[in-house]
Structure 1
Amino acid sequence: MTLFLTNEALEAGELTLHEEVPISEKAWRTVGSRMFIEVDTTVPVEELLKGITIVSGNDACVAIAEYLAGSESAFADRMNAKARELGMNNTHFVNAHGLGEPDHYTTAADMALLARQYLLRFPHMLEYHSTPDYTYNGIKQQNYNGLLKYPEVDGLKTGRLTGNYNLIATGQKDGYRLLSVILGAQSEKERETDAYALLTYGFNNFQAQKIGDKGDNHGTVRVYKGKGGKVNAVLPEDLSVTILRGETPELRAELPKYLEAPVAQGQEIGTLEVETRNGEKRYPLVAETEISRGNFLKVFFHSIWLTLRGLFG
């Protein structure tokens, strides 16, 4: 989450990669994996990002948190607000680095949700996450993610609590990206073995299937009281779904019997139901064009027609 909020701040122009971040004694004293920043110095934001992504620098996390929010506790409040926004309903953050503390907790499902949104928003960060080693302050450290030895793996983040080893792994094969999350493994080897086994299972048994392109028409809806008599229901963006290999999804468009003007271009007017062996998902269909309100007579006569239609079916 620290990486997510830092990238949001960069995106919003609240800070830059070359901006110098002062290092407090608290950040310098942070335990666990570190990038070994020195107290009373300044470090560029980009170096702190490398320290977090490549060598899990807890000290870098605290430095970023203090710089962005004034204190680590205030930054944790921001983390929790973002967690709620993302739908991470079983997560609560107390610190910026993830070391165990009372009332600091999460779930594999919530971490998968966070990682997915992180990769969708900031895919460029994989360049850092996939870097094999990092040298700072004369100290060279290896990336803690041992799965980077596999060509399809390019991230994402390791973590460790007392007696527990955690790993969010991601990789891409044939243009298809997967995530696996392992929490509570008993060793680095176990977390890597389990995470890679999940990725391999996913790549061997599932595939991304393109359902349609942006603008594909899935039906026409009658429009009353408007200058136009009908509007197409189209996909607002390219649509792909994850399916079992060899499966053919079933598509059904659910549209209203009619609409009343005005109808805005891009207004949601129906849904596309996609049914697979994993269940059914619904995606929006939107109006292809704008239908503005008609003149007085058209609105008047259409109103009468709709009233009669309602009375007599």
Structure 2
Amino acid sequence: MKKNLKKIYALALAIIFLLGTFAPLKTLAADSEVPAEGEEVELTEEELEAKRQAEIKAEWERQVKKYINKDPDQLTTAYLVGDYASGEILEEKNIDDLVAIASTTKILSIYVVLDEIKAGHISLDDKVYIDKEISRLGGSSYKLKEGEEIPVEDLIKAALIVSGNDATKALAKYVAGSEEAFVEKMKAKLEELNITNYQIINSSGLPNYNIDKQNMLTTRDLFYLSRAFIKDYPEMLKITSMKELVNLERDFKEENTNPLLGEFPQVDGLKTGYTGLAGRCLVATALVKGDGEKTKDLRLISITMGSNSDAARYVAAKKLLKKSLDTYVYESLSNPNTLIASIEDDKLDPKEVNIYPKEEFSLLRKKSDFTNSTNTIEELEPPLKAGQTVGTISYYLNGEEVFTTDLIIKQDVLEASILRKIQGLYASLYMSLFKIFNS
């Protein structure tokens, strides 16, 4: 009996010990608000947003995967890659077909607005009144409200970064009094750029279903337009390279519509577009900085038109631009500051004369191409004047001559004095004897 009581007592102590051990775990579980089985977890707003973003990212990656093994030819109706500096077209497909350009129209619209600012007709600080028509405009939007007054500069940013149709039309009406009058200015700008094959009906690129028309250009002319826009207003690249547009006063925050921003560090613009007829379009530009000696800055403009989805456009544009960035380089072949030869002669004053190319010449080439040069230098007979030609140099690409220029000196060269000549003669004699006795 006593043994049984001892066993019962030991068992009771063990139970008490175990209860004491697990009590803190229960408390911890309660503090952590671990839900009971079958109970739904209530997420914070931050957690819900993180979950939503993860789902969006996963869906985007799934869409991209559908097209990743396809070529730009399969994903576009037209495309082009061109060199900004020379205007040379490097890659192309159907670039002379007239195609719907959707919101890439805004490159032209903002071009016209900037011309008006340059002419002093309006300023960046001008406030633009937002009327009912503008506030009701559909599609991509800056969410303008009737009665607001928005600075011209803010509307330009909204048009270029988030493709605000309302912002673009507000600028059009402010500049010209009506969108119809602004369209005439757009057409005049195209004619000024020698672009004659076009259809322009509005400032935004939205289709007009009442007349079954929308803005159209060839891809080649869209390239020429974009090139001129960057050339005349390079400061716009500071805007088109912004990853998002934030206006705290208007409680507005949206990402740039350009899908290649952040994908390539070289990309700093330019404009997207989409309508049912146009498909997904993108004008992108990227700058590769040169070293200032052997290579120069290379800016490419890449255009893809008519993709059937955002993911297809992204894949096509990314592949096309990456291929071009990997393929091409701007080489500085002839540089007036690059020393070609240094002639040393005791008959000359100065004794050492440096020789340089007269003209500058740079060449856009494939990285796999081969370049070289040959030169001919005349015997230097003083007196010679700075800038005088003393020879020629020719440059070759894959064995074919691409450029020839004179070789010049950059300082006057006189005949050395008699004393200098004698000193040179003795020095030459000494060296000859030294070689004989030390051979």
Common fold by TM > 0.5: yes
Bigger CA radius of gyration: 2
CA distance in structure 2 between the partners assigned to 1:52 and 1:139 by the alignment: 14
Structure having the higher strand fraction is 1
Partner of 1:135, secondary structure, is strand
Partner of 1:16, secondary structure, is coil
Deviation, structure 1 residue 48: 0.2
Deviation, structure 1 residue 243: 2.4
**In the alignment, structure 1 residue 107 sits paired with structure 2 residue 221:** no
CA distance in structure 1 between the partners assigned to 2:361 and 2:232 by the alignment: 17
Q: Is the 8 A contact 2:206 2:214 kept in 1?
A: no
Identity of aligned residues (%): 31
What's the RMSD between the two structures over aligned residues? 2.9
Summarize deviations over 1:184-211 as a string: whole Å, max 9, x none: 1111111122112221121122222346
In 2 relative to 1, CA 171–15 (structure 1 residues): closer, same or farther, beyond 3 Å? same
Matched residue, 2:273: 159
- Give runs of aligned pairs for residues 131-280 of structure 1, distance below 5 A: 131-136=242-247, 137-150=250-263, 151-162=265-276, 164-174=279-289, 175-210=297-332, 240-247=362-369
**In the alignment, structure 1 residue 42 sits paired with structure 2 residue 149:** yes
TM, length-normalised to structure 1: 0.69
Deviation, structure 1 residue 248: 6.1
Deviation, structure 1 residue 35: 0.4
In 2 relative to 1, CA 6–204 (structure 1 residues): closer, same or farther, beyond 3 Å? same
CA distance in structure 2 between the partners assigned to 1:6 and 1:88 by the alignment: 18
- The farther-off stretch of 104-113 and 73-82 is 104-113
Matched residue, 2:94: none
**In the alignment, structure 1 residue 79 sits paired with structure 2 residue 79:** no
In 2 relative to 1, CA 50–250 (structure 1 residues): closer, same or farther, beyond 3 Å? same
TM, length-normalised to structure 2: 0.50
In 2 relative to 1, CA 250–3 (structure 1 residues): closer, same or farther, beyond 3 Å? farther
Deviation, structure 1 residue 104: 2.6
Partner of 2:235, secondary structure, is helix
Partner of 1:146, secondary structure, is coil
Matched residue, 1:286: none
CA distance in structure 1 between the partners assigned to 2:397 and 2:220 by the alignment: 21
* Alignment length (residue pairs): 240
CA distance in structure 1 between the partners assigned to 2:254 and 2:361 by the alignment: 41
CA distance in structure 1 between the partners assigned to 2:402 and 2:307 by the alignment: 33
In 2 relative to 1, CA 138–198 (structure 1 residues): closer, same or farther, beyond 3 Å? same
Matched residue, 1:127: 238
Deviation, structure 1 residue 244: 2.4
In 2 relative to 1, CA 39–145 (structure 1 residues): closer, same or farther, beyond 3 Å? same
Partner of 1:120, secondary structure, is helix
